[in-house]
Chains A and B, each alone.
Chain A
Amino acid sequence: MKILNLIHNYKITGVIAVLILAVAVTLIYFQGLKFGTDFSKGTEATFYSETKINTQDLEKKVKKDIPVLEKVNVAGNTYSVIFSGTVKAEDITSALQKADQKLGEITVFNYQASQIAYVKVRMMYSAELIALAFVIFVIFSLRGKGLTYSDIIALALSDLLLLCFELLIVFAGFALLGVFHIFINEMLIILAVLLAFILLIIKIFATLRFQDFLSSHEVDQIAPVWKRFTVADWPTTTFIVAFVFILLIVPITVLGAPIIYFIPVMLFTILVAYISELSFKILLTKGIDFLVEKIPLISTLKNRKW
């Protein structure tokens, strides 16, 4: 229960959220995001071998000399060793020959996939449009439930900011994975989109539960009502979080590396989302209330029911 009391103390979780935010921003700023060859230029070494080569063994040995090795592909008897970024041909040749002296002629190429140009733009467009659709949904769901304009705007905005905060943690996770030379490739992007979708569902679910809560509770000020709701609803939220862990993380775990490295990022993000929701909601609703009171032009929003 002590942990629950801690989680339900919005000041403490707020401080934790700010600390996590600071670490995430620092990590992204200093480490940066490292894209794999699905999304950035790379280097590929190819060689032909009649005898079968243990690719995992080869990967381990070459990685010691060139840690940016991303993957080893086999097509028939042709082996391709793919590195992220530009690596000198002589370094690759010497690392490969050191790993296996029987390798035949090694050819080193500059590698360039086709989808590099648009991926970042596409990600931004998708995120912006989905965020807009989500905000409309939240407003639509809470409208007509006895809340004022400022309450609804504050709740929708806090959901949106919370989602941005969670995505920032995911990117920080990517940056951290980059330290261990795990690059952002299409698989990780799929998992990130999946995680964002889950977080969105959890928020939809919380909005609908809150909607039910409002039908049996008087609303004077939104912040304390949300706190009462969070305290009363913790078993439900915990059940949903446990359910998502089992349903989505078990299959990914079965698949093993390299996807498995993303699981701590998923778990951490969901956990942070779980504990920081209350502080985001309360701080933002209080902040918006304060702003609405101070600006005469929009002060009517505080009392007008939507």
Chain B
Amino acid sequence: MKKKYFQLFFIVVISIFFIAISIPHLQFSFGGKSYRIRGLRLSDLNKNTVLSDFSFNQSLSLHGGKQIVYDVDLTNVVEAEQNNSLQRVRNNIDARLRRMEIGEYKIYSLQSANKNQIVVETAFPLSEEIIQKLVTKGEVGFWTIDFGALSAAQQGTAQTDPYAGTIFQNRKQEDVTNQDLNISIRVSDAKIFLSENLVNIFPANELITKADTQPRNFGMRLFFTKDANTKLQNILSTNPSGYSPVIITLDYEPVAIQASGDLNASGSILLYPFGPNDKVNINLLAAKLSLLSLDSTATLSSVSNLAPWGGSHFYADIVLGAVIAFVLAQLVWFLYFRKRAYFGIIMNILFVIWIVGLLKVSALLSATLDWGLIVGVEAAIFLFAAYLALITFRIRTKSQGGLVKEEIEDVINASRNEVLYICILILVIAYILLQYGTFGVIQLATGIGFGAISALLLFPLAAQSILMLTLLRKTK
């Protein structure tokens, strides 16, 4: 019995935490006074936190967003090739957006007799800088120390260096193109810093300063293709002791430098990116280093606000609909099962709290709240309820005169493995949909997958305790 109460206490504590983080931001007036209710935030726990909040990425369908229109210059492309060229530009920008992890977005091309446009719609609050950078060509450049020029400079026999006074002083551009690069990934690593001695080597500039000696949250790891491995080895050999790092440029703008902490990695280079150290910016840089450059020039034409897909009440309507449906379903449950209904109703409510709470926690990993996710959660609730119905039917066959402890244990033991197998099947289905689905289907799979995880956590912890709490009799 002690174990049962401990489990119940644990479930209640976790559920209260999940409720606290799941409460939406509500503002209302009563008696002339304005009141505000909001859920728990991480900043309430620790003011110096660097983590994001328990809030989802917003979605186009529920929240609306921005429509960004780019003009694509295809004047240098023959007319018969223009459509293909436009689709290539769109596909490249699509690949960049996908790697930026901004949640839901849409991209499409528009082509008329005299206009070629790419339209991006996203709910993610992209900065003006990112909106501009998204469509730059992305031609990569590798700048290594030119030892010949350096020794000539030391001997005073050097010709005039066009880059004197900049970070490119005494450097030359290597013969590396986008095609030599395989992939660049964002990494979070304590090795992403520049040593103090290294910073001092560069002439005074705005890009590399003393502040860069502190480790950053995010960096990039760059891998070359197999065919270009010799080029990579040559580049790595120009920085044997860490004081002549390679500088990476995109469209002749410096974007990253070889980090100090990881010189001996074979097959890749750890990069310290310049500019804002946020995830989206680093992801965009990594995307450009992973992809071919754009073969046409695109320029920003306009940025406008987009209304939610289903109108301004879409989000409120779907949440209200889901709540009404859930309450009605519990009512049907009660009418059908009567006394045995309490077990199912309590479990259903706990399941909803846990799945919403777990999804809120996942918001830390930039999960997006959209219509597909809500539908997925609804499907998971149905799955869990269907299984609880099965258990309740099993109880019915034994419940004449009340259930004794052994009978409850029989039912739970018979069901425990089943829950595991069903959850594994659901997780497999969710994984398949995650691999092959479009964005909406992926969101639906996320909802279903989180449902399976919630059921896996909740069922072993709560089912037996709540059955005993609601149906246990000492004797028949």
| Interface residues in chain B, defined as those with a beta carbon under 8 Å from any beta carbon in chain A | 67, 83, 87, 90-91, 94, 106-112, 115, 117, 121, 302, 304-307, 310, 314, 317-318, 320-322, 324-326, 328-329, 332-333, 336, 371-372, 374-376, 378-379, 381-383, 385-387, 389-390, 393-394, 418, 421-422, 425, 428-429, 432-433, 435-441, 444, 448
Contacts and interface: CB of A to CB of B under 8 A. Distances in A.
A243 B108 contact: no
A112 B372 CA distance: 23
Given A113-B106, A248-B378, A193 B433 contact: yes
A89 B87 CA distance: 21
Given A75-B67, A111-B109, 11 more contacts: A114-B90, A125-B432, A130-B429, A193-B441, A194-B376, A194-B378, A208-B390, A212-B394, A239-B389, A242-B332, A252-B321
A13 B305 CA distance: 53
Contacts of A244: 382
A77 interface: yes
A107 B113 CA distance: 10
A190 B441 contact: yes
Interface string A235-253: 0100110111011111111
B317 A191 contact: no
A189 B372 CA distance: 10
B390 A107 contact: no
A110 interface: yes
14 contacts: A76-B67, A107-B115, A110-B110, A133-B429, A190-B371, A190-B440, A190-B441, A193-B437, A209-B393, A243-B333, A243-B386, A246-B332, A247-B325, A254-B318
Contact of A254 (B112, B321, B336, B448): B321
A196 B287 CA distance: 35
Interface stretch (A198-206, A218-226, A294-302): A198-206
B456 to A, nearest CB: 16
Nearest to B95: A114
A106 B366 CA distance: 39
Interface residues of A, number: 66
Contact of A197 (B90, B320, B394, B429): B429
A135 B144 CA distance: 58
Contacts of B326: 247
A108 B114 CA distance: 10
Interface string A120-164: 001101100110011001001100000000000000000000000
A108 B444 contact: no
Nearest to A248: B378
